[in-house]
Amino acid sequence: METLGYYNGAIGLLDELRIPMNDRACWFGDGVYEATVSANYIIFALEEHINRFFNSAALLRMSPTITKTQLAELLNTLVHKVDSPTQFVYWQMTRGTAPRTHTFPEHTAPNLWVMLKPQVFKDIYQKIKLITVEDTRFLHCNIKTLNLLPNVLASEKAKQAGCVEAVFHRGNRITEGSHSNVHILKDGIFRTAPLDNLILPGISRAHIIAHCVKLGIPVDETPFTLEEMFEADEIMISSVSTFCMSASYIDGYQVGGKDPERLRQIQDAFLEEFYQFTQTANHSASGRKQSVHKHGT
């Protein structure tokens, strides 16, 4: 099939599957989610995403009725039912189905959703434009919940401005993007926000830090400011769909472009890991870039 929807064991085309109105996702966004990508029908960093999924559920006092192993087996089975070998792989769990009430319903089992659709990956080396947006979200950004309206509004604002992403800041402190983590390179040091309650612990973020360590690039996980971002040698965003891309403009001002070699080292290392993990290419870095653009992997 071209797309796939899954709901508590029911499988069908994404636009044909039906969800009960009393699922608490409909009333409160009461749930958690995860997302990654697959290439060659291999789901990238699946174990890490499942671990974060279960951690988010625990922070919302939700108890999955499926184990980590069972969830991995289910997702690996489902990706093979979609025609495209490169897919966006999304799943979420809601607290259950019950009449609308603000308190947790009793004796209600959680609902598991899965959504799969074809994915065309972006050119990781393409320069992008960003905007900045005041971060007015709640104080539990480390939990990957379904409550994303501020993120949606910021993403739409970026789109209307002809930009790829919105960078959140609380006062003068940079937190993260509307659907990504934000990093900078300055004086040979990779800087990224600390893992506190103001940012999501990004899987791609963790992989980039590991690559920096291997490459001998120092890592600084302390807050940085708006001014430091604008004055950085390179500004980067990372997510499961963008991998690791760099910005050339923020709020209409030209930025970055001062440390292209170190930036390219990080991007090449990320792509190398992705292709080895998904067994989709074994060419040179430049050849891999062409392969991604041509085949969507």
User: With 50 as the cut, is the pLDDT of residue 232 above it?
Assistant: yes
Last residue of a domain, one of 68, 85, 118: 118
Mean pLDDT of 84-91: 97
Domain identity same for 198 and 66: no
Position 288 scores a pLDDT of 40
Q: Is the pLDDT of residue 293 over 90?
A: no
Tens of pLDDT, residue by residue over 163-221, are: 999 999 999 999 999 999 999 999 999 999 999 999 999 999 999 999 999 999 999 99
Please count the structural domains in the chain: 2
In a domain, 144, yes or no: yes
Question: Does 92 reside within a domain?
Answer: yes
> Is the domain of 96 the same as that of 176?
no
- Pair (57, 199) in one structural domain: no
Q: Do 96 and 221 belong together in one domain? A: no
Does residue 143 sit in the same domain as residue 105? no
For residue 203, is it within any domain? Answer: yes
Same domain, 150 and 253: yes
Instruction: Identify the domain boundary among 92, 118, 144.
Output: 118
**Domain identity same for 36 and 139:** no
Give me the residue label for tokens 């797309």.
3
Q: What is the mean pLDDT of residues 229-250?
A: 97
Q: To the nearest 10°, report the CA torsion of 133, 177, 64, 28.
A: 20
Q: Answer yes or no: pTM beyond 0.75.
A: yes
Residues 144 and 32 sit within 8 Å (Cβ to Cβ): yes
**Sequence-separated (6 or more) residues with CB below 8 Å from residue 151:** 137, 178, 179
Please write the tens of the pLDDT for every residue from 51-67: 999 999 999 999 999 99
pLDDT in tens, 240-273: 989 999 999 999 999 999 999 999 999 999 999 9
CATH of residue 154's domain is: 3.20.10.10
- The reply to whether 123 falls in a domain is no
Say how far apart CA 259 and CA 237 lie, in whole Å: 15
Angle of helix 260-278 versus helix 285-295 axis, rounded to 10: 60
d(CA 53, CA 34): 6
pLDDT of res. 138: 92
Which amino acid is present at 233? D
pLDDT at 292 over 70: no
Angle 188-183-280 (CA atoms, 0-180°, nearest 5)?
Answer: 95
Distance CA 136, CA 25 (A): 22
Q: Are residues 85 and 207 in the same domain?
A: no
Q: Which of 118, 148, 179 is the last residue of a domain?
A: 118
- Domain assignment present for 97: yes
Same domain, 86 and 192: no
Q: How far apart are CA 244 and CA 236, in angstroms?
A: 7
Of 81, 117, 122, 144, the active-site residue reads 144
Q: Is 144 a catalytic residue?
A: yes
CA distance 50 to 52: 5
Range of the domain at 72: 4-118
Q: Is the pLDDT of residue 152 over 60?
A: yes
* Whether pLDDT at 291 is above 70: no
| pLDDT attached to residue 290 | 36
Contact 25, 92 (CB under 8 A): yes
Tokens of 176: 């993260």
**Residue 50 placed within a domain:** yes
Burial call 112-123: b when 16+ CB within 10 Å, e when fewer: bbbbbeebebee
Domain annotation covers residue 173: yes
pLDDT at residue 281, as a whole number: 66
SS3 43: strand
156 with 286, same domain: the answer is yes
Please give the biggest Cα pair distance in the chain: 58
Residues 49 and 182 in one domain: no
For the record, the structure tokens of 135 come out as: 């971060």
What would the mean pLDDT of 64-73 be, rounded to a whole number?
A: 97
Residues 220-233, mean pLDDT to the nearest whole number: 98
Same domain, 107 and 152: no
What is the structure's pLDDT at 280?
A: 87
CATH number at residue 73: 3.30.470.10
